[in-house]
Amino acid sequence: MIARSRQVALALTVLLAAGAACQARGHEPPAPARPAPAAVKPRGFTLVASGDIIPHSPIIDRARFDAGGTGYDFRPMLTGIRSVVSHADVALCHMETVYGADGVYTGYPAFKSPPEVADALAATGYDACSTASNHTLDDGADGIRRTLDALDRAGVRHAGSARTEAEANTVTMLQAGPARVAHLAYTYATNGFPLPDGQPWAVNLLDEATVLADARAARRAGADVVVVSVHWGTEWQDAPDERQLTLARSLTAARTGGRPDIDLILGTHAHVPQAYEKVNGTWVVYGMGDQIAGEMTDHQGAPDPRGNQSTLGRFTFAPPARPGGRWDVTKAEFVPQLFDVDAGRVVNLNQAIAQGAEVHAVRDRIRDVVLSRGAAGDGLVMGE
């Protein structure tokens, strides 16, 4: 027993000596293994969208004044909302009118706007605009061509009207962070102007079957998110009309393979802000209102300040939990806006209030309309 104890002690002494020798020669014991880095979670994206841009004659005059009397500069009009628009991953506007040329520009009733509007949209941070409205054919096929040419030059994408049949059949696809967003756009009518001869594809007319077929085609083309802009509703009516409600229900109910065909609906045309509502799990903005317009009068000819009030919607999308799943909206916000016709500027009402401007009543009226169909219960909040 004594001999065995001496052998164990001798072995321990040798091992300790060897360890000391290794340290003396600069050899450290191996470091413990580090844990594997956590997998990087795919990020989502934010989308903002705003209402009708309608350059009435006073708006055109203001842009000429802002350009110093030479040319037209619409950029100052949008400075107040630029921080919201430019910080989004993708930003959409609604270009209600078509562009003229050679200084021949007109306001209501048949619009021909200066093409410099497109430069202002790009400078503000807009990535694409819907171009289907009741004024899309105000100057026929030439008006469409000039408008889309100018947007192309400015680097602003577009959906809703087309110069060729091939363009009409091509999905407007936008990159929003890691996601591909398809933008589709339609209008209820064109003020009685017929489609150009031989060009039935020049403007997308609002039809449920067509919208759904296009949405499904966009999904097959690789869209992660499908956004539909619709020019619809009853002018000067705060509440959505029956056709808006019916279409919203049917469009948001449509599914393919258990996945909704449409992920977001953005409404324009009514001239006044209308409600936001989550329908069948999909956010619907019935009407965003006019972002830029001259002093507005209703159908009786009476001035109506609601025609210069609007909202900008901001939606945060999160990636699906599994491949091929839905990109869900995890945060829905609206930003109340006012177009100050005297200053010729879009005003972010929340920022104006922070600066002491007396706009509480206008902001609160917009908020009440936006929330009138229970959107607060589904998480919609007023953003800045």
Cis peptide before 305 (omega within 30 of 0): no
Q: What is the reported pLDDT for 36?
A: 56
Mean pLDDT to the nearest integer, 5-25: 39
Where residue 357 falls among pLDDT bands split at 50, 70, 90?
low
CA-based R_g, the chain, Å = 29
Which stretch of DSSP H or E encloses residue 282? Answer: strand 282-285
Q: How many CB atoms lie within 10 A of CB 75?
A: 19
Residue 9 and residue 284: Cα distance in Å, rounded?
81
Q: Record the tokens describing residue 217, joined without a space.
A: 């085609």
Establish if 199 belongs to a structural domain.
Answer: yes
| Cα angle 257-172-199, degrees, rounded to a multiple of 5 | 105
Mean pLDDT to the nearest integer, 188-193: 98
- The candidate with the shortest Cα–Cα distance to 284, out of 325, 230, 224, 338, is 230
Three-class secondary structure of residue 157 per DSSP: strand
Q: Are 348 and 363 a contacting pair, CB within 8 Å?
A: no
Q: What is the reported pLDDT for 348?
A: 95
Q: How many domains does the chain have?
A: 1
Q: What is the reported pLDDT for 276?
A: 98
| Cα angle 46-52-54, degrees, rounded to a multiple of 5 | 140
Q: In this structure, is the dihedral angle defined by the CA atoms of residues 243, 186, 276 and 288, taken in order, positive or negative?
A: negative
Residue 167 and residue 149: Cα distance in Å, rounded?
13
Q: Are 156 and 122 a contacting pair, CB within 8 Å?
A: yes
Establish if 31 belongs to a structural domain.
Answer: no
Which amino acid would we find at residue 82? R
Three-class secondary structure of residue 346 per DSSP: strand
Establish if 28 belongs to a structural domain.
Answer: no
Q: What is the reported pLDDT for 323?
A: 86
Q: How far is CA 91 from the centre of its chain?
A: 4
- The candidate with the shortest Cα–Cα distance to 60, out of 44, 74, 78, is 74
Where residue 352 falls among pLDDT bands split at 50, 70, 90?
confident
Q: What is the reported pLDDT for 281?
A: 98
Q: Are 134 and 187 a contacting pair, CB within 8 Å?
A: yes
Percent of the chain with pLDDT over 70: 88
Give the predicted TM-score (pTM) of the model: 0.89
Residue 296, strand partner residues: none
Establish if 14 belongs to a structural domain.
Answer: no
- The candidate with the shortest Cα–Cα distance to 142, out of 105, 99, 111, 103, is 99
Residue 1 and residue 24: Cα distance in Å, rounded?
35
Helix, strand, coil percentages in the chain from 3-state DSSP, rounded to 5:
30, 25, 40
SS3 readout for 95-111: ECCCECECCECECCCCC
Establish if 267 belongs to a structural domain.
Answer: yes
CA atoms within 13 A on the CB side of 159: 28
Domain span at residue 297 reads 45-382
Of 8-12, 129-133, 166-170, 360-364, give the lowest mean pLDDT range: 8-12
Establish if 120 belongs to a structural domain.
Answer: yes
Establish if 21 belongs to a structural domain.
Answer: no
Establish if 26 belongs to a structural domain.
Answer: no
Q: What is the reported pLDDT for 359?
A: 84
pLDDT digits (tens, 9 = 90+) for 74-123: 999 999 999 999 999 999 999 999 999 999 999 999 999 999 999 999 99
Residue 165 and residue 184: Cα distance in Å, rounded?
15
Residue 272 and residue 307: Cα distance in Å, rounded?
5
Q: What is the reported pLDDT for 14?
A: 35
CATH assignment at residue 278 = 3.60.21.10
| Total length of the chain | 384
